[in-house]
Chain A
Amino acid sequence: MEKFTTFTSRLAPLAIDNIDTDQIIPARFLKTISKAGLGDQLFYDWRYDAAGNPKPDFLLNRPEGRQAQVLLAGDNFGCGSSREHAPWALTQYGFRAVISTSFADIFRGNALKNSLLPIVIPAEEHKKLLAAMAANPAATVTVDLAQQQLTLPHGSSVTFPIDSFAKECMLQGVDELGYILKQDAAISAFEKKRTLTINTLSAA
């Protein structure tokens, strides 16, 4: 993983509540055994027509959408299926952050493990941001993870919450598995004292 650095970007607004992971990446694209090519399939059924041609009016097919590294979505983004293909597709397209008023639990966890920052802001700020975008589609925001600050188009900023451990992993560009594997002694100790009255698979 690359280190997550501060950046300024245009926004791609998709102001719909409850965008589920089946929309982000439809299930028929999950037959792959790799991560390659998912960016082209992002929001496939919203983005392409029946013949597979890009719909010219869909934001992510337009140059201004292509320039955006931040997706501005409605409430409860990423609900539904646990597929990590969703953050893989979003990051491969070029997104580095998603702003919403809330995220589904599994998606949020998956996003953080792929250096895609889920930014939760209050509903009032979200409304203002949508209004600012409507007034000026080229407006930009600045994302500063270290300070947990989102600087809005009119210059003010909002602080956003993030799990401190996930934040450190993203800033340092390391994944969690390295940390978990360093706990090997604790895991072995737990396994020794684990009073499992249940049958394990090997005992059956």
Chain B
Amino acid sequence: MAKTIIQKVWDRHVVAENPGAPALLYIDLHLVHEVTSPQAFSGLRERGLKVRRPDLTFGTTDHSIPTHDRSLPIVDKVAETQITQFEKNCRDFGIPYYGPHSAKQGIVHIIGPEQGLTQPGMTVVCGDSHTATHGAFGALAFGIGTSQVEHVLASQCLLQTPSKSYEVRVDGKLKDGVGAKDIILNLISRIGIGGGTGCVFEYTGSAIRALSMEERMTICNMSIEGGARAGMIAPDDTTYQYLSGRQYAPKAADWDRAVAEWRTLPSDEGAKYDKRIDIDASTLEPMITFGTNPGMGIPITAAVPDPASVQDPVERDTLGKALRYMDLPSGKPLLGHPINVVFIGSCTNSRISDLCAAAELLKGRRVNPKVRVMVVPGSQQIKQQAQAEGLDRIFKEAGADWREAGCSMCIAMNGDQLQPGEYSVSTSNRNFEGRQGKGGRTFLASPLTAAASAITGVVTDVRTLLG
């Protein structure tokens, strides 16, 4: 029977299927970070357990780590304790990790692919919902809670029930100024943030095939914002070219064997999906969110919807509450709305191509003096590459702040945050109330839209600045 890539990866990892219990699924790669793992390591110690496969486990510090000068001490003692404890846990249990001073430290979902740890056909988990990112390689990758982090540490397995399959087909050619972030924000605005609950997305179609690996990662990253725990893209030559030569990628004869195996992964002709949606890439505009969840998004020239036009009372209240929090009127576009902060970073949009796109627009221009602009590379390696290419100078000369790698203002755990009432245009993935700092208000958008808005100081359609 014709199978989807989702089924194929699942089938290859089932360890046991006992009556009355979910399947036991083997995990090929377990990524751990400082925030969602401490209680799992405590659990192991209480039960006297070891980490079964430290060789399939990898750690980094990203969420609570400051992004200022790393030679300075960490001011937040609670965060410092968490980072110190994480390093101790990795050492005690024999897990390789990139600590705060490693030249390869970075956001967990940036460094997995960057180091070649993430590979097609793998099962990948991490105590973080944006683990979906790794699906861009044709891996089945999903976020888990801390109890499951403990399960995987102890057994390299998880109890799982299969998800439904949901084909997201994107055909057509993107217009100038429109990119991967706009595709995923458009999808989520159509299906809502619960639209993919119980499903794994597979992104297919000519527009997806035409994307680079970094763009594919941006799309898969936000699968969870559409409710799907995972989102996959079948591997192809773009995937293999990206992976070839990376530190943990197979080498020589192993590489040839691996590619041959990976070529068996794409969904079979005629494979059935439980759900499907079609998107015409050629009709897309730059997208921006106006509300307090990523599903509340609109094309940048469109008007903010009016709660009075919503029939369901709870839905109406939810939209009304969002607009009150955002302090926005309905019925007109966000274009021209003043902003205080621009954040370019996060596991969604902090890769070298994101930084290049923003830098290209900022080159020879100045950011609006009223706007605080933070550029936070996803990893130290990206930072080094950007500096080698002179991007840091472009950002600094434009008046932006060039920082160390980490999650930073995407989750605002490390001191990088909005003040109450401030508005940001952010390349991150969540606009929940307080996500970027208590009382802060977030407009999610692409790196291009963020850079354009940084220049003007108001929400801006990047196409008006493109030559």
Contacts and interface: CB of A to CB of B under 8 A. Distances in A.
A69 interface: no
Contacts of A190: 15-16, 26
Contact of B39 (A34, A82, A163, A186): A34
B327 interface: no
B227 A105 contact: yes
Given A17-B314, A17-B318, A74-B314, A84 B78 contact: no
B153 to A, nearest CB: 10
Given A23-B432, A26-B438, A175-B147, A104 B194 contact: yes
A175 B257 CA distance: 40
A183 B14 CA distance: 12
Nearest to B251: A199
B79 interface: yes
B237 interface: no
A196 B29 CA distance: 12
Interface string B353-374: 0000000000000000000000
Interface stretch (A56-64, A109-117, A146-154): A109-117
Nearest to B44: A177
A175 B155 CA distance: 14
Contact residue range for chain A? Answer: 35 or more
Contacts of B79: 31
Interface string B160-197: 01010000000000000000000000000000011001
B157 A180 contact: yes
Nearest to B195: A76
Interface stretch (B17-25, B299-307, B398-406, B456-464): B17-25
A76 B197 contact: yes
Nearest to A76: B194
Interface string A79-110: 11111100100000000000000111110011
Contacts of B411: 27
A165 B156 contact: no
A187 B26 contact: yes
Nearest to B315: A17
Interface string B107-134: 0000000000101011000011100000
B198 A105 contact: yes
Interface centre among A35, A109, A176, A197 (most CB of B within 10 A): A197
A27 B413 contact: yes
Contacts of B317: 15-16
Interface string A122-161: 0000000000000000000000000000000000000000
B23 to A, nearest CB: 11
B293 A201 contact: no
B335 interface: no
Interface string B226-257: 01010000000000000000011111001001
A75 B434 contact: no
Contacts of A50: 420
A197 B254 contact: yes
B204 interface: no
Given A102-B194, A197-B258, A33 B227 contact: no
Interface of B: 15-16, 20-22, 24, 26, 28, 35-36, 38-39, 42, 47, 49, 52, 55-58, 63-64, 76, 78-79, 81-82, 85, 96, 117, 119, 121-122, 127-129, 142-148, 150-151, 154-157, 159, 161, 163, 193-194, 197-198, 224, 227, 229, 247-251, 254, 257-258, 260-261, 293, 295, 314-315, 317-318, 321, 411-413, 420, 430, 432-435, 438
Interface of A: 15-18, 20, 22-23, 26-28, 30-35, 45, 50, 74-76, 79-84, 87, 102-106, 109-110, 113-114, 163-165, 168, 175-177, 179-181, 183-184, 186-187, 190-191, 194, 196-202, 204
Given A17-B318, A22-B432, 20 more contacts: A15-B314, A16-B318, A30-B413, A33-B39, A33-B42, A34-B38, A34-B39, A75-B314, A84-B145, A102-B194, A109-B148, A165-B22, A177-B154, A183-B24, A184-B155, A186-B24, A187-B24, A191-B156, A198-B28, A201-B58
11 contacts: A20-B293, A20-B432, A30-B63, A79-B193, A176-B159, A177-B150, A181-B155, A186-B15, A187-B157, A190-B15, A201-B117
